[in-house]
Amino acid sequence: MNKVQNFFFQLRSKYKKPTVAPHQFLNFKEAKKIGFLFINENRSMSTVINRFMKNLLEQKKVVDALTFMPVANQENPYGFRYDICTARNISWLGEMQHEKVKQFIATDYDYLFCVALHLNDFLTYVLQSSQAKCRVGIYEEGKENLFELMIHLQANQDLDVLIEQMQFYTDELVKDS
Protein backbone atom coordinates (compact mmCIF):
# COMPACT_ATOMS: atom_id res chain seq x y z
CA MET A 1 0.00 0.00 0.00
CA ASN A 2 1.22 3.50 -0.63
CA LYS A 3 1.38 6.08 2.17
CA VAL A 4 -1.95 7.73 1.33
CA GLN A 5 -3.81 4.39 1.15
CA ASN A 6 -2.12 3.26 4.35
CA PHE A 7 -3.10 6.47 6.17
CA PHE A 8 -6.79 6.20 5.25
CA PHE A 9 -6.84 2.44 5.86
CA GLN A 10 -5.42 2.96 9.37
CA LEU A 11 -7.86 5.79 9.98
CA ARG A 12 -10.82 3.60 8.96
CA SER A 13 -9.60 0.76 11.19
CA LYS A 14 -9.02 3.06 14.15
CA TYR A 15 -12.48 4.63 14.09
CA LYS A 16 -14.45 1.66 12.81
CA LYS A 17 -17.29 0.61 15.08
CA PRO A 18 -16.56 -2.67 16.87
CA THR A 19 -18.06 -5.78 15.37
CA VAL A 20 -21.41 -6.94 16.71
CA ALA A 21 -20.89 -10.64 16.00
CA PRO A 22 -21.90 -12.96 18.83
CA HIS A 23 -18.38 -14.04 19.79
CA GLN A 24 -18.26 -17.28 21.74
CA PHE A 25 -16.32 -20.47 22.22
CA LEU A 26 -17.73 -23.47 20.42
CA ASN A 27 -16.53 -27.00 20.92
CA PHE A 28 -14.05 -27.35 18.06
CA LYS A 29 -15.31 -30.83 17.19
CA GLU A 30 -18.71 -29.27 16.45
CA ALA A 31 -17.26 -26.43 14.38
CA LYS A 32 -17.98 -26.77 10.70
CA LYS A 33 -16.91 -23.53 8.99
CA ILE A 34 -13.41 -22.13 9.51
CA GLY A 35 -11.86 -18.86 8.35
CA PHE A 36 -8.12 -19.06 7.69
CA LEU A 37 -6.51 -15.62 7.54
CA PHE A 38 -2.77 -15.72 7.04
CA ILE A 39 0.28 -13.65 6.29
CA ASN A 40 3.53 -15.49 5.78
CA GLU A 41 6.44 -13.19 5.19
CA ASN A 42 8.84 -16.10 5.69
CA ARG A 43 8.19 -18.51 2.80
CA SER A 44 10.17 -21.22 4.58
CA MET A 45 7.21 -21.59 6.96
CA SER A 46 4.82 -22.57 4.16
CA THR A 47 5.21 -26.24 5.12
CA VAL A 48 3.87 -25.47 8.60
CA ILE A 49 0.89 -23.57 7.18
CA ASN A 50 0.19 -26.38 4.70
CA ARG A 51 0.26 -28.92 7.52
CA PHE A 52 -2.22 -26.87 9.59
CA MET A 53 -4.59 -26.52 6.63
CA LYS A 54 -4.32 -30.25 5.86
CA ASN A 55 -5.21 -31.01 9.48
CA LEU A 56 -8.33 -28.82 9.29
CA LEU A 57 -9.44 -30.40 6.02
CA GLU A 58 -8.87 -33.92 7.37
CA GLN A 59 -11.26 -33.03 10.20
CA LYS A 60 -13.89 -32.34 7.50
CA LYS A 61 -13.97 -28.60 8.18
CA VAL A 62 -15.08 -26.23 5.41
CA VAL A 63 -12.21 -23.74 5.20
CA ASP A 64 -12.01 -20.38 3.43
CA ALA A 65 -8.49 -18.94 3.24
CA LEU A 66 -7.48 -15.33 2.68
CA THR A 67 -4.11 -13.59 2.56
CA PHE A 68 -2.75 -10.12 1.85
CA MET A 69 0.20 -9.47 -0.42
CA PRO A 70 1.41 -5.99 -1.37
CA VAL A 71 1.45 -7.23 -4.98
CA ALA A 72 0.26 -10.53 -6.41
CA ASN A 73 3.00 -13.10 -5.96
CA GLN A 74 3.77 -15.41 -8.86
CA GLU A 75 4.82 -18.39 -6.77
CA ASN A 76 2.37 -20.36 -4.66
CA PRO A 77 4.11 -22.32 -1.89
CA TYR A 78 0.77 -23.52 -0.49
CA GLY A 79 -1.06 -26.72 -1.26
CA PHE A 80 -4.53 -25.22 -0.87
CA ARG A 81 -6.77 -22.64 -2.52
CA TYR A 82 -6.84 -19.13 -1.08
CA ASP A 83 -7.97 -15.66 -2.06
CA ILE A 84 -5.46 -12.84 -2.30
CA CYS A 85 -6.05 -9.21 -1.47
CA THR A 86 -3.44 -6.78 -2.79
CA ALA A 87 -2.91 -3.05 -2.31
CA ARG A 88 -4.72 -2.58 -5.63
CA ASN A 89 -7.91 -3.85 -3.93
CA ILE A 90 -7.88 -0.95 -1.47
CA SER A 91 -9.02 2.46 -2.70
CA TRP A 92 -7.02 5.64 -2.22
CA LEU A 93 -9.39 6.42 0.65
CA GLY A 94 -8.69 3.12 2.38
CA GLU A 95 -11.95 1.43 1.37
CA MET A 96 -11.95 -2.31 0.74
CA GLN A 97 -12.96 -3.00 -2.86
CA HIS A 98 -12.33 -6.74 -2.98
CA GLU A 99 -15.57 -8.76 -2.98
CA LYS A 100 -13.87 -11.89 -1.61
CA VAL A 101 -12.59 -9.90 1.40
CA LYS A 102 -16.05 -8.45 2.01
CA GLN A 103 -17.50 -11.96 1.79
CA PHE A 104 -14.83 -13.32 4.17
CA ILE A 105 -15.63 -10.60 6.71
CA ALA A 106 -19.40 -11.17 6.48
CA THR A 107 -19.21 -14.96 6.94
CA ASP A 108 -20.08 -16.21 10.42
CA TYR A 109 -17.24 -18.70 10.81
CA ASP A 110 -17.28 -20.92 13.87
CA TYR A 111 -13.53 -20.20 14.20
CA LEU A 112 -11.30 -17.71 12.45
CA PHE A 113 -7.60 -18.51 12.70
CA CYS A 114 -5.27 -15.58 12.09
CA VAL A 115 -1.95 -17.23 11.26
CA ALA A 116 0.57 -14.40 11.51
CA LEU A 117 3.36 -13.42 13.87
CA HIS A 118 2.52 -9.70 13.60
CA LEU A 119 -0.77 -7.94 13.02
CA ASN A 120 -0.63 -5.50 10.13
CA ASP A 121 -3.34 -3.01 9.14
CA PHE A 122 -5.04 -5.44 6.78
CA LEU A 123 -5.30 -8.20 9.41
CA THR A 124 -6.56 -5.70 11.99
CA TYR A 125 -9.22 -4.46 9.58
CA VAL A 126 -10.46 -7.96 8.75
CA LEU A 127 -10.42 -9.13 12.38
CA GLN A 128 -12.20 -5.99 13.58
CA SER A 129 -14.93 -6.41 10.99
CA SER A 130 -15.24 -10.20 11.13
CA GLN A 131 -18.51 -11.89 11.99
CA ALA A 132 -16.66 -15.04 13.19
CA LYS A 133 -17.85 -16.50 16.47
CA CYS A 134 -14.35 -17.16 17.81
CA ARG A 135 -11.22 -15.41 16.54
CA VAL A 136 -7.88 -17.01 17.41
CA GLY A 137 -4.48 -15.37 16.95
CA ILE A 138 -1.26 -14.03 18.40
CA TYR A 139 -1.21 -11.83 21.47
CA GLU A 140 -0.20 -8.23 20.84
CA GLU A 141 -0.57 -5.62 23.53
CA GLY A 142 -3.40 -3.22 22.75
CA LYS A 143 -5.04 -5.65 20.28
CA GLU A 144 -6.95 -7.72 22.84
CA ASN A 145 -10.31 -6.74 21.35
CA LEU A 146 -9.49 -8.56 18.09
CA PHE A 147 -9.54 -12.09 19.51
CA GLU A 148 -11.49 -14.34 21.83
CA LEU A 149 -8.41 -16.56 22.20
CA MET A 150 -4.89 -15.14 22.07
CA ILE A 151 -1.62 -17.07 21.99
CA HIS A 152 1.34 -15.45 23.74
CA LEU A 153 4.67 -16.37 22.20
CA GLN A 154 8.16 -15.85 23.55
CA ALA A 155 10.55 -13.75 21.44
CA ASN A 156 12.34 -16.82 20.05
CA GLN A 157 9.17 -18.72 19.09
CA ASP A 158 7.91 -18.85 15.51
CA LEU A 159 4.88 -19.68 13.39
CA ASP A 160 5.27 -23.39 14.10
CA VAL A 161 4.71 -22.79 17.83
CA LEU A 162 1.81 -20.41 17.17
CA ILE A 163 -0.01 -23.00 15.07
CA GLU A 164 0.76 -25.79 17.54
CA GLN A 165 -0.71 -23.69 20.37
CA MET A 166 -3.76 -22.71 18.30
CA GLN A 167 -4.51 -26.36 17.64
CA PHE A 168 -3.91 -27.39 21.25
CA TYR A 169 -6.11 -24.72 22.82
CA THR A 170 -8.97 -24.98 20.36
CA ASP A 171 -8.98 -28.78 20.72
CA GLU A 172 -8.73 -28.74 24.51
CA LEU A 173 -10.39 -25.54 25.71
CA VAL A 174 -14.02 -26.60 25.31
CA LYS A 175 -14.65 -30.26 25.96
CA ASP A 176 -17.87 -32.25 25.67
CA SER A 177 -19.78 -32.26 28.93
CA angle 163, 22, 176 (to 5 degrees): 60
Q: What pTM was estimated for this model as a whole?
A: 0.84
Task: Give tens-digit pLDDT for 115-132.
Answer: 999 998 889 999 999 999
171, 35, 38, 143: CA torsion to nearest 10? -80
Full strand arrangement of the beta sheet holding 135-138: 83-85, 62-68, 33-38, 111-115, 135-138, 149-151
pLDDT, position 177:
40
3-172: which CATH architecture? 3-Layer(aba) Sandwich (3.40)
Q: What is the pLDDT of residues 1-59, one digit of tens each?
A: 555 455 555 555 554 554 545 566 678 889 999 999 998 666 777 889 999 999 999 99
- No. of H helices and E strands in the chain? 5, 6
Evaluate if residue 158 carries a pLDDT over 80. yes
- Rg (Cα) of the chain, in Å, rounded? 16
Gap between the Cα atoms of 82 and 63, Å rounded: 9
Check whether 73 has a pLDDT greater than 70: no
